[in-house]
């Protein structure tokens, strides 16, 4: 381990380890021998206790020292016992098996903000924001027919020039962007634990191993891509404020409509699949300008997800988003938030350099996995879908990562 790596690991441990320490201690040392050393008392600690003994302590101090040294020895014995391979009890085996599945929490956490603001009392949106920010004529009008709705109170005196339409109140926009950001925040924490193998061993997808990179540098570049979240934020702001979405998208009435979330994901992936095919086959010049920059990654990592050109994001993400909003027209603000967050975060996950525990089940259902998308980055002409493989199944462009196990990809990915 280099000094730099050590520093990064220990900094990270300081932030994330306390709540996990107990479970990590119980794991067999096979996966994380270096961390075992971190948790055990260090040589420095034992030498400091022996130096204090040499300073001729009083009777009371001596008995305290004896007690603390007894506790210390017991702790060392206990920790050694937990790390000893011979003590790998059935309990630790169960924990070792269970631990990687904690990662599943990343999926509901993508919906953290809409669930918090709509299903709790203390943080309910009606308790946090003035009524005029989220109602039309005092009503949460999705419960009524759209015709009964008027214009937003905020918009009444805010028609934009050249239009008889109101500007929309930015609360929903702000919450929508925050929902994606919060989902992404949880995803990045999970991915760091996953990448560091805190939750269990990971398997690189490609046999040539994972690309070597600095986590914080890659993360900063990922979050500041002009063709990524910045452009996405601009699209969301313009379409929202200038009233370019179907009316129901502005309604705070009701909760997350899960079937609509699923429909949006299907519609989005279908449009994205079509646009992606067009980028690849329409014209070499078009490919070069739009999609080629993203294809410089033949062995992508999680942070390459939104690393593409501005035209690529417009063609393959923004146009499909606009189409989806106008095809699935009856979503409310919570559904739009839930769809946005699950889509953006799923798109990020499929660029991971290692596999996730849920991916075998996903593969069976035709839900996009990291290995599926690595097939596209590696071979170019298969797997044009992103979050779904269904349309590749239908038109015959699907290639199962299993076909290249032991060749370009590792077994079992
Ligand atoms: Zn990609
Ligand atoms: Zn492509």
Per-residue CA distances from 165 to 142, 155, 160, 327, 345 (Å)? 19, 8, 7, 21, 33
Cα-to-centroid distance, 370 and ligand 1 (Å): 10
Q: What is the pLDDT of residue 179?
A: 97
Q: What is the pLDDT of residue 225?
A: 85
- Token digits of residue 381: 């002409």
Q: What is the pLDDT of residue 126?
A: 87
Ligand approaching nearest to the C-alpha of 272: 2
Ligand 2 centre from 376 Cα, in Å?
6
Tell me the CA–centroid distance for residue 276 and ligand 2, in Å. Answer: 6
pLDDT given at position 68: 46
Three-state helix/strand/coil letters over 330-384: CCCHHHHHHHHHHHHHHHHHCCCCECCCCHHHHHHHCECCHHHHHHHHHHCCCCC
Burial class of 275 by CB neighbour count within 10 A (0 to 12, 13 to 18, 19+): buried
Gap from CA of 295 to ligand 2 centroid (Å): 6
Contact of 10 with 39, CB cutoff 8 Å = no
Cα–ligand 2 centroid distance for 294 (angstroms): 7
Determine the pLDDT at residue 226. 83
Domain ranges of the chain: 3-97, 107-404
Residue 166 confidence (pLDDT): 66
Compute the distance between CA of residue 310 and CA of residue 228 in angstroms, rounded to an integer. Answer: 8
Q: How far, in Å, CA of 270 to CA of 30, rounded?
A: 43
Q: Which ligand is nearest to the CA of 386?
A: 1
Rounded to the nearest whole angstrom, what is the distance from the C-alpha of residue 302 to the centroid of ligand 1? Answer: 9
Give me ligand 1 centre to Cα 244, in Å. Answer: 28
pLDDT score of 16: 34
Cβ 35 vs Cβ 10: under 8 Å: no
What is residue 130's predicted lDDT score, i.e. its pLDDT?
83
Global confidence as pTM: 0.75
Expressed in angstroms and rounded, the spacing between residue 219 Cα and the centre of ligand 2 is 22
Give every residue of the chain whose pLDDT is below 50, as ranges.
Answer: 1-58, 60-65, 67-69, 71-72, 75-76, 78-86, 144-157
Assign residue 164 a region (left: φ > 0; alpha: ψ between -120 and 50; beta: otherwise).
Answer: alpha
Q: What is the pLDDT of residue 95?
A: 83
Gap from CA of 307 to ligand 1 centroid (Å) = 8
User: Cα(21) to centroid of ligand 2, in Å?
Assistant: 42
Instruction: Give the number of the ligand closest to the Cα of residue 373.
Output: 1
> Which of 146, 147, 184, 151 is CA-nearest to residue 165?
151
């Amino acid at each position: 381990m280099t000094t730099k790596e050590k520093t990064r690991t220990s900094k990270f441990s300081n932030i994330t380890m306390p709540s996990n320490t107990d479970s990590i201690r119980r794991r067999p040392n096979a996966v994380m021998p270096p961390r075992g050393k971190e948790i055990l008392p260090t040589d420095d600690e034992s030498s400091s206790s022996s130096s204090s003994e040499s300073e001729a302590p009083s009777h009371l101090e001596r008995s305290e020292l004896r007690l603390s040294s007894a506790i210390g020895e017991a702790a060392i014995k206990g920790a050694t016992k937990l790390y000893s391979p011979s003590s790998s009890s059935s309990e630790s085996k169960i924990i070792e098996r269970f631990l990687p599945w904690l990662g599943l929490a990343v999926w509901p956490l993508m919906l953290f903000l809409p669930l918090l603001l709509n299903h709790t009392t203390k943080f309910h949106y009606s308790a946090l924001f003035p009524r005029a920010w989220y109602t039309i004529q005092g009503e949460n009008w999705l419960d009524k027919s759209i015709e009964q709705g008027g214009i937003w109170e905020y918009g009444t005196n805010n028609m934009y020039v050249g239009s008889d339409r109101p500007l929309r109140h930015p609360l929903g926009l702000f919450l929508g962007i925050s929902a994606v950001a919060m989902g992404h925040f949880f995803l990045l924490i999970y991915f760091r634990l996953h990448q560091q193998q805190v939750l269990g061993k990971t398997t690189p997808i490609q046999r040539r191993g994972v690309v070597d990179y600095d986590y914080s540098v890659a993360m900063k570049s990922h979050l500041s891509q002009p063709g990524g979240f910045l452009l996405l934020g601009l699209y969301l702001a313009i379409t929202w404020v200038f009233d370019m979405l179907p009316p129901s998208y502005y309604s705070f009435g009701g909760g997350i409509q899960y079937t609509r979330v699923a429909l949006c994901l299907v519609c989005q992936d279908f449009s994205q699949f079509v646009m992606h095919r067009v980028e690849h086959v329409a014209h070499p010049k078009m490919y070069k300008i739009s999609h080629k920059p993203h294809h410089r990654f033949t062995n992508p990592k999680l942070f390459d997800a939104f690393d593409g050109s501005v035209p690529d994001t417009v063609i393959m993400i923004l146009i499909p988003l606009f189409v989806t909003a106008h095809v699935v027209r009856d979503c409310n603000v919570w559904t739009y938030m839930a769809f946005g967050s699950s889509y953006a975060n799923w798109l990020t996950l499929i660029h991971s350099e290692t596999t996730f525990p849920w991916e075998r089940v996903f593969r069976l259902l035709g839900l996009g996995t990291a290995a599926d998308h690595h097939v596209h980055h590696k071979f170019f002409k298969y797997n044009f879908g992103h979050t779904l493989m269904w349309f590749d199944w239908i038109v015959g462009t699907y290639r199962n990562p299993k076909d290249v196990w032991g060749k370009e990809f590792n077994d079992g990915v």
